[in-house]
Amino acid sequence: MNKLKAALVESYAGAILIAMISSTGIVSLVQWLFGLINLVIQRSRNSDSPMEAFPASAIFSIVHGMILLGIAFLLLRWLYFPTQTEVPGEDVEPAP
């Protein structure tokens, strides 16, 4: 795993992968937002028409975007922010 992590960080492939995944997630959420705005505008123009149910594709778009942003966040944490582990028995004493 450390070799894979080093290869992704040193070749900037990890940064490109994170950017692609996060941009796809953001596009998915923006698409949901504009679809919701479009639905509200259509309902206000056609006030006499019956109310439509909330589209199932909107729920898929929200879930898809959140999963992609979560994956991008986990990759970012794994590649560029080291985990802090405490070594048992090693106490840090304050300076006098």
**For residues 56 and 35, is the Cβ–Cβ distance under 8 A?**
no
37 domain-assigned: yes
Would residue 70 count as lying in a domain?
yes
Task: Confirm whether 11 is domain-assigned.
Answer: yes
Please give the full DSSP string across 42-83, using - where no structure is assigned.
HHHHTTTSPPPPPPHHHHHHHHHHHHHHHHHHHHHHHHHS--
Tell me how far apart the alpha carbons of residues 96 and 49 are, in angstroms, rounded to a whole number. Answer: 77
- Which is more confidently placed, 78 or 44? 78
Q: Is 93 among the domain residues?
A: no
Q: Into how many domains does the chain fold? A: 1
Q: What is the pLDDT of residues 26-44, one digit of tens each?
A: 999 998 899 888 888 887 7
pLDDT for 3-15, tens place per residue? 888 887 888 888 9
Q: How far apart are CA 31 and CA 21, in angstroms?
A: 15
Domain membership of residue 90 (yes or no) is: no
Domain with 75, as residue range(s), is 2-45+55-80
